[in-house]
Structure formats: C-alpha cells, structure tokens
Chains A and B, each alone.
Chain A
Amino acid sequence: MKIKKLMFVTKFEQLGFDALKSLLALRKAGLDHVVFVNVIERERFAMSRVGYRKDEEIRLRETANIRFIDWAESLFEMGMEAGVYIVVGTLVPEVLKAAEKEAADLIVIGRSHKGVLDQLYSGSDITELLRRSATPVLVYKHMSENILALDKPFSRPLLATDWSPACQKAVDYLITLEGIIEEIHLIHVITEKELADSPSHTSHTIQKARKQTRQKLEEICDIFEQQGITARAHIYVGNAEDEIEKAAREHQASMIVMGSSAKAYWLERWIGSTPREIAEKSAFPCLLIPPEKNAAR
C-alpha cells in the first residue's frame, strides 16, 4: 500500500508548486510519479449568449499546460515521472476517471478559503470526491499561521480512529511512511452519546471505558513503534469534530488522518459525517482513507 503515484488536482489558485514540493518528502517512501490534473469547467467558456468559445478553451488549456510543463520539468530533473491531464468537464467525475486510469495511490486536492460561495462550491466538490473515491484523498489547505510543520505535512499526523475498517486501513497506509513520519498521535473521541448510552454513569464505568479505549489505542501505537515510528495515544471526550480539531492543535499535528465514512449517502446526509465535516472545515490538511470497496455503503 505504498504511495508511489500521487495525483495532484489543482485549479492553480489553491494549490501551487510549493504545496507539491512539501509532499515530495514522500519520495523516501517510494513516491516516484506525480500526475497533474486540471479540470476546466465547461461553464467558463460555454456561454448561453455567445455560444461555445473554442478560443477561450484553447487559452485555458495552454495556460494550464505552460504551468504544468514548468512543474513537470522540476520533477523530471529530480529523476521522477510526471504526467498531465488537462480536461474540460466536471471536476469530480474527471478526477475519478483520471485516478482510475492512472491507478493513483493518493489524490491531493485543495480547498479554497476565499469567499463563502467559493467555499460552498469547493466544499461540495470535496464531499462528492470523498464519497465516491476508492483512492485515499488528501484535502490540502492553506494553513493558518499558528500551525507548525507547514513544509512537512506527513511529519506529525494525527490519526483519529473510531475502530472502523477504514481506520485500520489508514494504519496500514501510514505504516509505510517510516522515515517520513516523525511522530504520530492516535486519538479516539468518546462521545457524550456513548457515555449517556452506558448502563450506569458511575465513575467506575467511565474509567473502565477510558481504560479499554486506552488499551486499544496502545495496541495500534505498538504497531507503529514496531516500525520505528514514535506513537502517542490520547483520549478525548465530547463532540468528535471539535475534539479532533482540538487534539490536532494541542499536539501540533501536521495533518489529520481519518477513515472516510462507509455510510450510505442518504444516511450520511441525514446524520452527518465526521470525516466529511472535518475535511471541509478543519484548518489542517486532512487525509481520508476510504473503506474497502465491499464495505457497507
């Protein structure tokens, strides 16, 4: 489950070459191929009054091509492989199509922090991508000034686990990054609901739940430690989204890693999805690992 081929999806304003360079530490773990993807939305030049503006399509394609040639040259000179997709269409289907053709190991996509409308728009793209992608997705973000390790996104990941199969898959994925991860923080959030659902609310039962959770986290820590990766376990109580964000800040995480939801789309819309919420709202880069294809959806 090595990250050998990375797909870098950009509209240029959110993710630039500096963002890609920060991911090149993955070379130590086997990364040797980057595929650039730029999807030009048809509505940018197919206008109802003036019709289809072929000249505008050509201009946008060539502009993207010039940027990608420049980026690819830098990668080639490092002895890496690079490829390019500049396509006209709708973002998510085109990204998924390219990821399948390329058999990419990781999709990296940006999220604009510009306006409310823009956020709403790109947010929905990310939701759809996370829902449909069989490839892990890294939602890469503009970082706020108080977050460290901007240039080493994989150096201090925070893995939030709910013990799902996708979280187990995330462990398998991260374990290959020995030599890149300096320290990993594992957290589990015990929700208020879980506490309320327990048969009694005595201090003993709560402490017992904490102890069991701790043991399970330590078992995962041991897996990382055996690979030479320093791992620390933490338990938080409260609302999952708030606590994961809090934990990431407290432990100066460089990114948040989660298993993405295996819930059916309608169910996710109804009761919400922690990974999706975090991927769309967190200040941290978020790596979402999808469940196996045969997991319940």
Chain B
Amino acid sequence: MSKKVLVVDDDPDVRLFSVTVLEENGYLPLEAANGEEGLKMVKAEKPDLIILDVLMPRQSGIRLYREMKTDKALKDIPIIILSGIAKKTFLRSQKAMTEFGGKPVPEPEVYLEKPVEPEELAETIKKVMG
C-alpha cells in the first residue's frame, strides 16, 4: 500500500507541484490549505510524512509544527518544511515561542526553501521516508 504524504500549503500551485511529484514517485498525496485544516487531516489520516509550508492563513506552519511536535501521538511523524520563510527565522520563532512559555521542540527533519526542483523534492522525500 502506498505511503500517505500530507501537503499543507495555502498556494494551490505549490500543492499541485508537490502532489505531482508525490504521485510520480508512488506516494498517496493528501492536501490541506492551512494549519488548522492540516492538523485535522493529520489526526484523521495519520500520514507517513508531512510537507509543510510556514506562512499560511488561519494557522501558520510554525504553530502546526509546534502542536505536532508536542503531541505524543503525532510527534514522530516526519516533517519536511517547504517555505519561503528562512530556516533561521523558523528556528528563532520556535525559540521565541518556547521563551513565551511553550515546550521546546526539535528541529524539523528537513528544511527546504522555496522554490525547489522536482528532483530535489523527490530525493528528499525518499531520504526522509527511508
């Protein structure tokens, strides 16, 4: 059975790009347009991997990432961040949130800055999925 990969991004073009890469590489893609929708799908579908954007309406990827990594049932799902936001900013924001009373969270498995080439994304997914 194909492994499920959830793509959380508000940009439909980016979702289409990621979904195409996933399908071509034999994965079963799932889609969500923001962090809130993404969290619901994570709980309902239990994907094997998440490709997550950061800057989104409703709930950002930063918040979703934090919620997942502090949830016992979800923290082991690997996450590839795919975003226009710099990795340094992502890490600083997590640190700031921890300072504001949140729990510390680990760094994401992989951080890719947009845009990426299809081969790079496919290769990264394969590597993360083992």
Query: A residues touching B (Cβ–Cβ < 8 Å)?
Result: 35, 65, 68-69, 72-73, 76-79, 81-85, 98, 101-102
Q: Known interface pairs A79-B99, A83-B56. Does A69 touch B93 (Cβ–Cβ under 8 Å)?
A: no
**B62 touching A76 by the CB < 8 A rule?**
yes
Which residue on A lies nearest to B10, using beta carbons? A84
Contact of B86 with A by CB under 8 A: yes
**B57 touching A79 by the CB < 8 A rule?**
no
Q: Known interface pairs A69-B55, A76-B93, A77-B92. Does A83 touch B84 (Cβ–Cβ under 8 Å)?
A: no
Contact of B96 among A65, A78, A83 (CB under 8 A): A78
Complex CA distance for A211 and B67, rounded to whole angstroms: 56
**A35 touching B57 by the CB < 8 A rule?**
yes
Which residue on A lies nearest to B63, using beta carbons? A81
**B59 touching A84 by the CB < 8 A rule?**
no
Query: B residues touching A (Cβ–Cβ < 8 Å)?
Result: 10, 34, 54-60, 62-63, 84-86, 89-90, 92-93, 96-97, 99-100
- Rank and list the top 6 A-B pairs by shortest CB-CB distance, nearest first: A79-B96, A76-B93, A73-B89, A83-B57, A77-B92, A79-B97
- Set of chain A residues within 8 Å of B97, measured between Cβ atoms: 79
Describe A's contact surface by its main secondary structure.
Answer: helix
**B59 touching A81 by the CB < 8 A rule?**
yes
| Shortest Cβ gap from B57 to chain A (Å) | 4
Complex CA distance for A65 and B60, rounded to whole angstroms: 15
**A65 touching B84 by the CB < 8 A rule?**
yes
**A83 touching B89 by the CB < 8 A rule?**
no
Complex CA distance for A69 and B86, rounded to whole angstroms: 9
**B100 touching A82 by the CB < 8 A rule?**
no
**B85 touching A76 by the CB < 8 A rule?**
yes
- Set of chain A residues within 8 Å of B58, measured between Cβ atoms: 83, 101-102
Which residue on A lies nearest to B100, using beta carbons? A79
Complex CA distance for A145 and B109, rounded to whole angstroms: 51
**B55 touching A77 by the CB < 8 A rule?**
no
- Set of chain A residues within 8 Å of B55, measured between Cβ atoms: 68-69, 72, 82-84
- Set of chain A residues within 8 Å of B54, measured between Cβ atoms: 76
Complex CA distance for A76 and B83, rounded to whole angstroms: 13
| Shortest Cβ gap from B37 to chain A (Å) | 12
**B85 touching A83 by the CB < 8 A rule?**
no
Complex CA distance for A69 and B93, rounded to whole angstroms: 14
| Shortest Cβ gap from A98 to chain B (Å) | 8
- Set of chain A residues within 8 Å of B90, measured between Cβ atoms: 76
Complex CA distance for A6 and B60, rounded to whole angstroms: 15
Complex CA distance for A101 and B33, rounded to whole angstroms: 13
| Shortest Cβ gap from B62 to chain A (Å) | 6
Q: Known interface pairs A77-B92, A81-B62. Does A102 touch B84 (Cβ–Cβ under 8 Å)?
A: no
| Shortest Cβ gap from A55 to chain B (Å) | 15
**A72 touching B85 by the CB < 8 A rule?**
yes
